[in-house]
Chain A
Amino acid sequence: MTLSTRIWALHLAVLAALLAGSVLLPAYHQTNVAKVMVLATYAMGYNIAFGYTGLLSLGHALFFGAGLYGAGLLVQHAGLPAGPALLAGILAGGAMAAAVGLLALRTQGVAFMIVTLMFAQAGYLTILYNTAWTRGEEGIVIAREARMLFGHDLSADLPRYLAAFALFAAGLVVKLWLVRSPTGRVMIALRENEERSRMLGYDPYARKLAALVVSGLYAGAAGAAYGLLFGYVGASLASTQYSILPLLWVLLGGAGTVLGPLVGALSMFYLIDYSSAFTTASLLVVGVALVLLVLFAPRGILGTIRERWLKWLP
Chain B
Amino acid sequence: MSFGPFLLLALMEGMVTSAVLALAAVGLSLVFGIMRVVNVAHGEFFMLGAVSAWFVSQWVPGPPAVAFAAALILCPLFVGAIAALADMVVLKRLNYEPEATIVATIGLLYILQQAALSFYGPDARPVPAPFNFRVQLPWFGYSGYKIAVVAASALVLLGVWRLLAKSRVGLIMRATQYDRETARAFGINVDRVYAGVFALGGGLAALAAVLIVPIQQAHYLMGTDPLLLSFIVVIIGGLGSLRGTVIAALLIGLSDGVISTFFAPTLAKIVATLLVALVLVFRPQGLFGRRAL
Contact = CB atoms under 8 A, between A and B. Distances in A.
B293 interface: yes
Chain B binding site: helix, strand, loop or mixed by DSSP? helix
A295 B94 contact: yes
Contacts of B281: 103-104, 106-107, 115
A114 B281 CA distance: 10
B98 A291 contact: no
Interface stretch (B103-111, B140-148, B193-201, B244-252): B103-111
Contacts of B277: 103-104, 114-115, 118-119, 122
Contacts of B103: 247, 251, 290, 293-294
Contacts of B118: 281, 284
Interface residues of B, number: 43
A294 B104 contact: yes
Given A106-B281, A111-B280, A281-B118, A122 B293 contact: no
B266 A125 contact: yes
Interface string B100-124: 1011101111111111011000000
Nearest to A109: B98
Given A122-B277, A294-B100, A295-B90, A287 B109 contact: yes
Interface in B231-264: 231-232, 235, 264
A129 interface: yes
Interface in A283-301: 283-284, 286-291, 293-295, 298
B110 A129 contact: no
Interface in A14-65: 56, 58
Contact of A118 (B109, B224, B273): B273
B97 to A, nearest CB: 9
B273 A122 contact: yes
Residue of A118, A121, A281, A284 with highest tally of chain B CB at under 10 A: A118
B280 A114 contact: yes
A146 interface: no
Contacts of B106: 244, 247, 287, 290
Interface string A240-270: 1000100100010000000000000000000
B185 interface: no
B110 A283 contact: yes
Contact of A290 (B104, B113, B235): B104
Contact of B108 (A114, A281, A291, A298): A291
A98 to B, nearest CB: 15
B114 A287 contact: yes
A144 B160 CA distance: 60
Contacts of B109: 287
20 contacts: A56-B99, A103-B281, A107-B293, A110-B293, A111-B284, A114-B293, A117-B231, A118-B228, A119-B274, A119-B277, A121-B273, A122-B273, A125-B273, A128-B266, A247-B103, A281-B117, A284-B110, A287-B108, A290-B103, A290-B107
Given A281-B117, A281-B118, A290-B106, 6 more contacts: A110-B98, A118-B228, A122-B273, A284-B118, A295-B90, A295-B104
Closest 6 CB pairs of A and B: A287-B110, A290-B107, A287-B111, A291-B107, A283-B114, A118-B277
Interface of B: 38, 90, 93-94, 98-100, 102-104, 106-115, 117-118, 224, 228, 231-232, 235, 264, 266-267, 269-270, 273-274, 276-278, 280-282, 284, 292-293
